[in-house]
Structure 1
Amino acid sequence: MIGRAQPRSFLFVPGDRPERFDKALQSGADAVILDLEDAVSPENKNEARRAIEAWLTPDRPVLIRVNARGTSWFEQDAQLGKLRGVGGIVLPKAESASDVVELVSRTKSRMPVYALIETAKGMFNALEVAQAPFVRQLMFGTLDFCADLKLASDGGELDHFRADLAVISRVAGIAPPIDGVTPAIGDEDLLGAETLKARRWGFAGKLCIHPRQVPIVNAGFAPTEDELAWARRVVEAFEAADGAAVAVDGKMVDRPVMQRAQSILDAVGA
């Protein structure tokens, strides 16, 4: 399902495991992605598509990750976008605006598209992709991206590209991007660190591959009590000064600082 206007946690569920669909909805994830791509073997693609189609209902909207344009499954996967209960399509290996246009032309709807940037070509053309019709957000497919560029790991190697995606999203006027998965399911410290890194680089959420990752990701993208207290002090002081620059905690606060404080409060509906 899609539980927030700006989801933080996006949980993948294999499309050929329908017994997990309802459990995913109860995981606390802000958005659930029923996956027809990487999580499903070639021989099970058709079975997964049928399972998703049978389960879909408008009462529990979910996202669907289709197979990439150019694969033999793309055409039939895209047809699912016409069904009620699909709240958006995740498009893997997005490398051009035409990839998005091909998807949208098949769904024949105005539903949101979440474009996965997973290759060097996709990164090079990310602004074009971000400006394509109905693209809601960019997602960073870090594992495939590392493989494509033959990067050994995601220590600090991808931070430059994260900055690029954050800037591109802003320029395109779409929501901030979503970071890739942490494959080490049992390493909560690593997941927490990677979640905070994504937030620092301007990302709005993170992809998850297991329900146990969801609460850590949600907490990582939530403002801390200290941040909320600071934001309240800034907004109150700025309003009392009638829009003029004012000092809070010994630091000058002008309109850009106030806007950042207000965005923190807005994130929790305060």
Structure 2
Amino acid sequence: MPTTAITGSASGIGAAVATALRAAGHRVIGIDRGNAEVIADLSTREGRDAAIAQVLELSGGVLDGLVCCAGIGVTAPSCGLIVAVNHFGVSQLLGGLEGALAKGSNPAALVIGSVAAIRPGTEQEPMTQAMLDNDEARALDIANTLGEPQVAYACSKYAITHHARRLAATWGAKGIRLNVVAPGAVETPLHDASRNDPRFGDAVRAFVAPLGRNGHPEEIAALIAFLQSQQAGFIHGSVMYIDGGMDAMVRPQRV
């Protein structure tokens, strides 16, 4: 029975992934702020260290899978919190659990990115570079000073996607697959909070994919379950958009 750790397992996409992987025969170690095997706050270095330690204890130091679903959106209390959870909450767990994955059977890790990462100019934002430099204090300071949650969210998702991609060569050499799934709008509590926010609600409701609807957590989970399976054994370092055609509509020239 493969053992897989899932962050954000208590709701939304993470909960759907936990259900799908359990159905596929995985032993799931859920990580969340409540209702999970590991209770942790991934917004701080100390919270992430505690989560890593607990996962290593529960798994016996051996993991076959890791799915990083935990994330927060534009309704977060601060822009720095968005950056802390969405980028550093993922990058630190990837680093802290790499050794356990290397000991696993056909190990695979996956990061939830976002179609929001394609926002024009995101790669040039100073906070993006600070994230890629692993300078958390600077990244949070820039994000909070700018005070634009939608920019912080896009940058955090771009940076963690970039980070995962540049790990692909070294992780592949160790036999660990690592991919990114980039959803569009998905019917989750996170999306619902954004849709009902007086600042961002109109923009969120206007963000309609060519298929004319939002995605469902179970659809995202089905793709993740495949990517974590041996059937996807040659898929590594890839970014999979599951966005109802939004990326194709916005960037038709992308190949």
Q: TM-score interval w.r.t. the shorter chain?
A: 0.3 to 0.5
Flag the structure with more relative contact order, 1 or 2, with Cα contacts below 8 A and sequence separation at least 6: 2
Higher helix share: 2
Give the greater-gyration-radius structure (CA): 1
TM (norm. structure 2) is 0.35
TM (norm. structure 1) is 0.34
